């Protein structure tokens, strides 16, 4: 944990432990720019709940790198008087080097996603990241099976995880949270999402660590509630916030086509996006 004056960035261990014990989920909202980060922090502070800010490799590149993002988040926390626990997390880090770079820049949590590799190699890379990250108190999430769909403009297919694979990953690596692929996808769903709740429940009952649901957009509310009841403690959301934000911007530009001030163009998505954030927090039942 990095404590800076009266505000702090934390790893996700405490918040997810409470979520697992009390059957709610902590939101992982992806950030894509300064405005998004500000809106998310403001809403979560207002609701007095912990939050995980997720940064994909593509978003890190877009925003100018991990140091830039870390500085931006710490600055916002200080300037906005944010006192809730905030975890700054790498989303789908593909390599050890990515995770190391982010940790050096002040990220307090990483996801190493080597799920494209066979399980043994996935475990090997994940263990390297755990050994490095834990020296700095940084939490580590890993993926077993493969969560498909489209993220950062890359599309891939789904491979579901098995209980045995999840047990091996946890036993050999010492990770802090696990994202088992169980039918959810990144981006939009074709038809109804088909989540394997039976395996989800079994994994949760067998493993001591919190479980993560990726592809949190587009899953009907009743299925999100069932996933939480089956032991999901962290839910990742990006696409639904993108849609809400861009709906607000499109509406403003349609009403006033001569808008040119970037603060007014980008800022036009604030209300819609904040509504979407509140809806997720209430659905997830997030508490401090």
- Single out the segment in contact with ligand 13P by CB under 6 A; choices: 59-67, 77-85, 128-136, 214-222: 214-222
Q: How far is the CB of 135 from ligand 13P (least distance, A)?
A: 25
The residue within the footprint of ligand 13P, chosen from 20, 74, 186, 234 (CB under 6 A), is: 186
Work out whether strand 109-112 and strand 139-144 pair parallel, antiparallel, or are unpaired: parallel
- Output DSSP code: residue 284: H
Q: How far is the CB of 128 from ligand 13P (least distance, A)?
A: 21
Under the binding rule (CB under 6 A), the answer on residue 239 touching ligand 13P is yes
Under the binding rule (CB under 6 A), the answer on residue 183 touching ligand 13P is no
258 is catalytic: no
Q: How far is the CB of 84 from ligand 13P (least distance, A)?
A: 21
Question: Hey, which bits of the chain come out as E strands?
Answer: 2-4, 7-9, 26-30, 51-56, 86-93, 109-112, 139-144, 148-151, 154-156, 177-180, 185-186, 211-213, 232-237
Edge-to-edge, what's the strand order for the sheet holding 148-151? Answer: 154-156, 148-151, 185-186
Distance, CA of 85 to CA of 9 (rounded, Å): 7
The residue within the footprint of ligand 13P, chosen from 145, 180, 216, 231 (CB under 6 A), is: 216
Which x/- pattern, by CB under 6 A, does the window 62-101 give for ligand 13P?
A: -----------------------------xx---------
The residue within the footprint of ligand 13P, chosen from 139, 173, 217, 233 (CB under 6 A), is: 217
Under the binding rule (CB under 6 A), the answer on residue 30 touching ligand 13P is yes
Residues found in the chain: 288
- Output DSSP code: residue 33: S
Would you say 74 or 89 has its CB closer to ligand 13P?
A: 89
Would you say 27 or 106 has its CB closer to ligand 13P?
A: 27
Task: Identify the burial level of 170 via C-beta atoms within 10 angstroms of its C-beta, where 0-12 means exposed, 13-18 middle and 19 or more buried.
Answer: buried
Q: How far is the CB of 218 from ligand 13P (least distance, A)?
A: 6
Q: How far is the CB of 113 from ligand 13P (least distance, A)?
A: 9
Which structure tokens are listed for 244?
């809400």
Distance, CA of 55 to CA of 49 (rounded, Å): 19
In sequence order, what are the beta bridge partners of 186? 149
Q: Which of 14, 91, 196, 258 is catalytic?
A: 91
Distance, CA of 151 to CA of 285 (rounded, Å): 26
**3-state secondary structure (DSSP) of residue 220:** coil
User: Binding residues for ligand 13P, per CB under 6 A?
Assistant: 30, 54, 91-92, 186-187, 214-217, 236-240
Residues annotated as catalytic are 91
């Amino acid at each position: 944990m990095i404590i800076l004056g009266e505000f702090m960035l934390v790893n996700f261990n405490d918040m997810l432990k409470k979520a697992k014990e009390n059957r709610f989920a902590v939101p992982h909202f992806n950030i894509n720019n300064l405005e998004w980060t500000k809106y998310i922090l403001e809403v979560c502070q207002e609701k007095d709940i912990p939050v995980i800010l997720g940064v994909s490799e593509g978003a890190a590149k877009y925003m100018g790198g991990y140091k830039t993002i870390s500085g931006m988040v710490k600055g916002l926390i200080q300037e906005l008087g944010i006192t809730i626990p905030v975890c700054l997390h790498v989303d789908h880090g593909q390599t050890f080097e990515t995770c190391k770079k982010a940790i050096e820049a002040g990220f307090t949590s990483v996801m190493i996603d080597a799920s494209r590799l066979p399980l043994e190699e996935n475990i090997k890379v994940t263990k390297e990241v755990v050994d490095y990250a834990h020296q700095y108190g940084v939490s580590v999430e890993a993926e077993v099976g493969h969560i498909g769909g489209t993220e950062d403009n890359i599309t891939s297919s789904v491979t579901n995880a098995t209980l045995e694979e999840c047990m091996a990953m946890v036993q050999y690596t010492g990770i802090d949270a696990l994202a088992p692929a169980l039918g959810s996808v990144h981006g939009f769903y074709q038809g109804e999402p088909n989540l394997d709740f039976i395996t989800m429940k079994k994994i949760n009952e067998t493993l001591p660590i919190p479980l993560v649901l990726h592809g949190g957009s587009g899953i009907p509310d009743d299925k999100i509630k069932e996933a939480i009841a089956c032991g999901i403690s962290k839910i990742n959301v990006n696409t639904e916030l993108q849609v809400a934000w861009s709906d607000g911007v499109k509406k403003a530009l349609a009403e006033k086509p001569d808008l040119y001030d970037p603060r007014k163009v980008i800022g036009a998505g604030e209300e819609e996006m904040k509504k979407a954030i509140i809806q997720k927090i209430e659905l997830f039942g997030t508490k401090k």
